Amino acid sequence: MPKYSLRTIAAALLLFAALALGQRPAAAAELIMFEDAGCPWCARFNRDIAPAYPKTAEGKRAPLRRVGINDKLPADIAFIQVERLTPLFVLVDQGREIGRIRGYPGEDHFWGLLSGLIRKLPPAPAAGAPPT
């Protein structure tokens, strides 16, 4: 009989709770950005990266979703262990964390770090393919 970690069981329970409440976990990857209104590095990210992000291959593969660092986590991402620093970027897919970027290291470093995380994602479904 397979053994499951407490974290795996907790994630499954959260997924079940989200489905019971009519919420669906993101079927595609998302880049969750934890931010704070007074964070100067968040403002710098918003100036340097945010306007172009949705137009990039990375932005299309993992759309940006913003969450306030002090907000209650929505059920579909409650499995994320939030750190008390901003910005914090967490790449998630199918209800699991793929990886994270702590802080905003500047435009060039951000894209390099994000590309490394994106490469860890499973292949994207072909356009028009039915969801699995």
pLDDT by residue, tens only, the chain of 132 residues? 456 555 555 455 544 554 444 444 444 899 999 999 999 999 999 999 999 999 999 999 999 999 999 999 999 999 999 999 999 999 999 999 999 999 999 999 999 999 999 999 998 766 665 555
So what's the pLDDT on residue 28?
A: 82
Pick the CATH number of 24-118 from 3.40.30.10, 3.40.50.620, 3.30.70.100, 3.30.390.30: 3.40.30.10
Q: What values do phi and psi take at 26, rounded to 5?
A: -60, 130
End-to-end CA distance of the chain: 26
How many CB atoms sit inside 10 A of residue 47's CB?
10
So what's the pLDDT on residue 3?
A: 64
Q: Domain map of the chain by residue range? A: 24-118
So what's the pLDDT on residue 6?
A: 55
If 0-12 CB within 10 Å is exposed, 13-18 middle and 19+ buried, where does residue 5 land? exposed
So what's the pLDDT on residue 22?
A: 45
Q: What is the pTM of this model?
A: 0.76
